[in-house]
Amino acid sequence: MSGCRWHQICLYPCQRRRLFISVPFLLCFVFAVAIFISSQTRFPVFLIRGVHSILLVSKNHDDLPKVHAIKTPVNETHLKRFSNSTPHFPHCLIIGVCKAGTRAILEFLNMHPDVVRPMFETHFFDNVANYKKGYRWYLQQMPKSLPSQITVEKTAMYYAVPEVPQRVHEMNSSIKLLFVVRDPVSRAVSDHLHMFTVYKTRKLKYKTFEEMAINPANGKLNTKFYAIQRSLYYRYLQKWLKYFPLSQIHIVDGEKLRLRPWEVMSPIADFLGIRKFYDKSYFYLNPDRGFYCINFNGIHCLPKSKGREHPAVDPKVLKKLKSFFRKENENFYNLTGRTFPW
């Protein structure tokens, strides 16, 4: 003992043996307790906060239980970035329509200090493999947010997959939905152009729009063509209305969004229950592309893959398409109580 220096631990030989024997047992005991606590407390509940609701998901999330809405007040005193923020389930879904302006809506919403969004489409409800991973996996895809903020998730093909409305309803029957539409003929051309460009980039051949839109055997319109099918807004919206009232679905005019985005975003903010924010000064018209960019903390434009210039389409094919969609559009107007110049 007298030989120990001030910085050394001095123990008799018997004390050292006891210490060497007891320390491993102590570590094992602590480790066992930690495992037990973890098994008992791991994700007992999820708190899902939106502007109007907290959603409670049961511990056994894998069986996809129903979610119950509980009212909660809005707190607007926090900043968008805060160390105590946590991921929350979406308060709103942008369910489609693809090639109608869904990405622009998401980016414009992301400007708002009360909105956060995932960086990429999660494809949770429309992808069987992802859906089987359960709500816990879905929550992990969400960004961190404050109780005063809402999370908006966009997967543009949600609207077209038959199983999705019921799956969304089982998660949250009070969720709000954005349904973006545009001229169905123009949207179909954009849809084909997207795939045509993808194949061209990979140096693969892809049929022209006319070749896919017209049945070569009889010269009639090929209504099974995916680009045409995805423009049948009335048929898809009908399926969503079986689970959600029209008051929970906000129809967005994609054409007006391109021309005057500030006039479109303000009603969306009202629909979502977030504070007024959007002003014409927050948007900048790109003269080269003819599309509005974000003018907020700098100029931010959508990727060049958005808003591509359409190739010329045979006028006869366009005429057949307009004739085909005329009745479909009327049904859509009657269903929504809205009219569009299509």
| Helical segments of the chain, H only | 13-41, 102-110, 128-131, 134-140, 164-171, 184-201, 209-213, 226-229, 233-241, 254-259, 261-272, 315-336
Q: What is the predicted pLDDT for the residue at 52?
A: 33
| pLDDT the model gives residue 40 | 40
Q: Which residue has the tokens 């994700």?
A: 43
Half-sphere exposure of 113 (CA within 13 A, CB side): 13
- The superfamily (CATH) of domain 46-336 is P-loop containing nucleotide triphosphate hydrolases (3.40.50.300)
Instruction: Specify the pLDDT at position 84.
Output: 64
Q: Considering the entire predicted model, what is its pTM?
A: 0.75
pLDDT 10s digit of each residue in the chain, 342 long? Answer: 444 444 444 444 444 444 445 555 566 565 555 544 444 433 332 333 333 333 334 333 443 333 333 223 333 443 444 456 899 999 999 999 999 999 999 999 999 999 999 999 999 999 999 999 999 999 999 999 998 999 999 999 999 999 999 999 999 999 999 999 999 999 999 999 999 998 988 999 999 999 999 999 999 999 999 999 999 999 999 999 999 999 999 999 999 999 999 999 999 999 999 999 999 999 999 888 778 999 888 888 877 666 667 789 999 999 999 999 999 999 999 999 999 999
Name the percent of the chain in helix, strand, coil, to the closest 5. Answer: 40, 15, 40
